[in-house]
Structure 1
């Protein structure tokens, strides 16, 4: 038995169950749990266990994925307002959950605005409603359970929310069944929490463990300290000890790690002090002697509890998906009148094609009914009351490769284009993008591959493309611009990647002549700039030439000389040009 442990201490629990218990012990300080899980028995069992750990009177609510502001933070009670003819304010979901737990399914799909609302509520323990002519403040002491159902290639849960949730667990290896309810043990831990002490050495060891894992947020350091205190109270201790620190490292830092912690021998070599002048100086320093073993022990625990997939990625030098990392869905966010994610309502005119939000229109009209002389059940609505729905949708990205297939170096260019397209197509499954391919040679340009994700089709079309002949650069750029316009009309986001040396010798009319062909190419490039199309020019000359750089400037795009181009370099350049 550990020193200081109460004889009636509860039995050991797996980390998933322990996280639920600790949240029940100190929900206000811990803020909540980030739960990585898929829909299934493991999640159902864990959620039921969490409910069983909470006191019977604790409110537990679920947050709809596309919750409106009036439902979340409060607003006008439309029915009561219309009945009485005066403004009646209704509490929202956050205020109704005061003193309880808010469960957020599919948290990775949460909007930034909703995440900011939850973060502000966790910070202040209140919710403020100032909209539609009302101003109200309600208490909202809540804990949030953010259920992350996404994959590594999906968008992450917003960082503004995750930075306020102390605990993090992955239910991939969690059991389907959990222990029975332990209300007496939770209640005893709550009562003993205020008396738990933390020594300075333990604080320093926790901070060192977080830094070793690349978790440099001060909020997470404080969260780990609070988790260690809650764990000590749970097992019946009055002083935080090594086992409490280890639990904090597992439950706070493990899933947030961004680098491999150094091996103890490596860390010792890096931190080694110069040889002491006197043999007995370090032996007489108890602080120095005691601090290293505690820190090394926590780092060893950190290495042991890293999930296998995360451990493999860190060992390979890859930074895992983390809050705030936007790898995943790409494309421009575009406003829309009819489709996309609802963003609330604004004053507007439905006759212009916007979708009328009837409920919000009535809410806007309701407070004015007495002044407007309403009689009976009729509601007087004026044009200034109209509220229309705002939408925002994430458009799909399409990368259009424009390949110069002319001249003696065509085979080299096509080989690099093939490698780049294949890499981009492989990434499309992750990034939800498409690619298109057109080539120009001889007297004209040809669309080889319309927007697609088909790797097989791309390989087949590229393999059958011959090279040689003149360079109708203007025709290639004109066709690329036309394709990009068509892609935009379909609501997608195009970007152009032009592989060429920039030396044109065939004009728009198919006639040879380097001077006229260069003028036509410059004119086509300026038209692309006028349409604000993202563009990247990859100079495939053996040595960088001014023609390709001038073309990029006329196109208002990026220029990258690739005297020794390879497919990986092309792919990296494409992703960088598109902000990825």
Structure 2
């Protein structure tokens, strides 16, 4: 048991650990955020009850699924196979370090093994997530297949080191089943939190039964359902639950049915009365209270993301540098490097067929089809291009917001691998005030004296960012266009002050941006959201974000969530 003074996060983590120890294969696994002594203590405590296998962080497909043992094959002169890591982990628990860096291909292989393994050969999975940001997380294909998500950032090692683990169940049938009313209550919580996964609801029902089993009961009560909502459904929330209805507007509940007539009370009736119909509203409140604070803030801002990312640009294949990928068949040309080990591994199984009868030569015969080359996945640098409407009486406010947002983003440039550029449009044309840079000093110097006032050449500004973004894309960058405007242009591309022509030119420039495939966001910072800015966003195929009370911090958060 945990200490009575343990924080709620540690108590829930201890309950998840005990439930997982009951049936590791049935609950799938644990997703543990927050590196530190508490997480190490939990893993060590789990290792005292089940067999653990640590998966190498950069394991390849050959080692994962098994194949040719190259060293043994070369020594024996014949093909010698070896078992894969997943085969060796059958019946145990796999520890996956640096889970936020697992590639989609590797995650798919592990997920397929989890889905198709025989009951006796299934294994549990513990994802060790070292991501610093809330949006840095393991692949969804793995987090969907583990029941519990625990954030151990505030827990102490002593809160988990003394957790008493139960013996594994001989049969899953020993877990009490939820009643129909309990399943309906969990489904209501899942719907309120925006959890659309059937696996999550199944895990929640199993967790409620496991909680009852750990308390020595053979039936599920409301406290077990609340624990399931906290442990399984709350970490998967994609929206905040709706506010409760006003009691004055709500219809009165129907009267309860009369109790059945009986001459004598049945033993255990009082205990069963406590196990009545659960209240979904109370379960929703329990789940909402367990939503991590960072996730709660992200949900309130509407900027949650369901995947990992480091803030860099688009992924692309590279022959020289980046994250290693599986080797492919081909010749080392155009800068590609020979994958010697993979080439030998491809050639070994065919040696018996390639030798002629009676040949005593023990050399290795390598054919053209055996040659493999190395592949890498690199992420291009991203460039955030600000296009700021510097015209009119509100120009100084908008420019101040843009200055602050540029400085905040540049402060994270080395971590996020981003650069920032700034285009201001006013008067008759647009001007590139800050070419793409990571230098905070250079940016501050360029931002010190930005001019403001005059007409609104919106079309000229969009044309300039389109030209700049297209050029950067050709050079291998990933541009993100951020347009700060109210959408009301009054200067056409020919310099005339014709508002209708200026609007049409702006929409044409926006459609050119969409045709070039440039991602963007239009931030409407007018006092009230206007249809003109929304129309420009639609032409650009960009996201429209009305922020009438925007400041530098809010702008940087919105742009960071979209980058």
Q: What is the match of residue 159 of structure 1?
A: 140
**Once the two structures are superposed, what CA deviation does each residue of 1:228-252 show, in whole Å capped at 9, x if it has no partner?**
2333333333333344333323322
Q: Secondary structure at the match of 2:333?
A: helix
Distance in 2 between residues matched to 1:359 and 1:488, nearest whole Å:
36
Distance in 2 between residues matched to 1:567 and 1:303, nearest whole Å:
28
Q: What is the match of residue 197 of structure 2?
A: 217
Q: What is the match of residue 33 of structure 1?
A: 30
Q: Secondary structure at the match of 2:311?
A: coil
| Equivalent of 1:344 in 317, 320, 326 | 326
1:559-578 to 2 correspondences below 5 Å? none
How much does 1:109 deviate? 1.5
Residue 294 of structure 2 is aligned to residue 313 of structure 1: no
Q: Secondary structure at the match of 2:324?
A: strand
1:38-187 to 2 correspondences below 5 Å? 38=35, 40-54=36-50, 58=51, 60-125=52-117, 140-177=121-158, 178-180=160-162, 182=164, 186-187=166-167
Residues 504/75 of structure 1: CA separation in 2 closer, same or farther (3 Å cut) = same
Residue 360 of structure 2 is aligned to residue 378 of structure 1: no
**Once the two structures are superposed, what CA deviation does each residue of 1:207-240 show, in whole Å capped at 9, x if it has no partner?**
3333344334221111012122333333333333
How much does 1:159 deviate? 1.4
Distance in 2 between residues matched to 1:72 and 1:29, nearest whole Å:
22
Structure 2 residues without counterparts, runs of 5 or longer: 5-9, 261-268
Residues 151/346 of structure 1: CA separation in 2 closer, same or farther (3 Å cut) = same
326-335 or 154-163: bigger deviation: 326-335
How much does 1:72 deviate? 1.3
Residues 293/483 of structure 1: CA separation in 2 closer, same or farther (3 Å cut) = closer
Residues 190/531 of structure 1: CA separation in 2 closer, same or farther (3 Å cut) = closer
The question of whether the paired residues in 2 share the 8 Å contact of 1:258 and 1:320 is answered with: no
Distance in 2 between residues matched to 1:237 and 1:522, nearest whole Å:
67
Residues 524/348 of structure 1: CA separation in 2 closer, same or farther (3 Å cut) = farther
Q: What is the match of residue 451 of structure 1?
A: 436
Distance in 2 between residues matched to 1:75 and 1:117, nearest whole Å:
15
Structure 1 residues without counterparts, runs of 5 or longer: 1-8, 127-137
Distance in 2 between residues matched to 1:559 and 1:221, nearest whole Å:
35
Distance in 2 between residues matched to 1:467 and 1:336, nearest whole Å:
44
Q: What is the match of residue 190 of structure 1?
A: 169
The question of whether the paired residues in 1 share the 8 Å contact of 2:392 and 2:454 is answered with: no
1:476-555 to 2 correspondences below 5 Å? 484=469, 487-488=472-473, 491-496=476-481, 501=489, 503=491, 533=518
Distance in 2 between residues matched to 1:236 and 1:150, nearest whole Å:
37
Distance in 2 between residues matched to 1:492 and 1:579, nearest whole Å:
16
Residues 486/195 of structure 1: CA separation in 2 closer, same or farther (3 Å cut) = closer
Residues 236/375 of structure 1: CA separation in 2 closer, same or farther (3 Å cut) = farther
Q: What is the match of residue 131 of structure 1?
A: none
Q: What is the match of residue 213 of structure 2?
A: 233
The question of whether the paired residues in 1 share the 8 Å contact of 2:207 and 2:228 is answered with: yes
- When the two chains are superposed, the root-mean-square deviation of aligned CA atoms in Å is 5.0
Alignment size in residue pairs: 531
Q: Secondary structure at the match of 1:99?
A: coil
Q: What is the match of residue 256 of structure 1?
A: 236
Q: Secondary structure at the match of 1:150?
A: coil
1:259-408 to 2 correspondences below 5 Å? 259-261=239-241, 266=245, 272=251, 282=257, 292-310=277-295, 313=297, 317-318=300-301, 321=304, 324-325=306-307, 329-373=311-355, 376-402=361-387
Q: Secondary structure at the match of 1:351?
A: coil
Residues 114/541 of structure 1: CA separation in 2 closer, same or farther (3 Å cut) = closer
Distance in 2 between residues matched to 1:524 and 1:234, nearest whole Å:
64
Query: Please, what TM-score do these two structures have when normalized by structure 2?
Result: 0.75
| Equivalent of 2:449 in 438, 461, 464 | 464
The question of whether the paired residues in 2 share the 8 Å contact of 1:538 and 1:559 is answered with: no
Distance in 1 between residues matched to 2:122 and 2:172, nearest whole Å:
18
How much does 1:82 deviate? 3.0
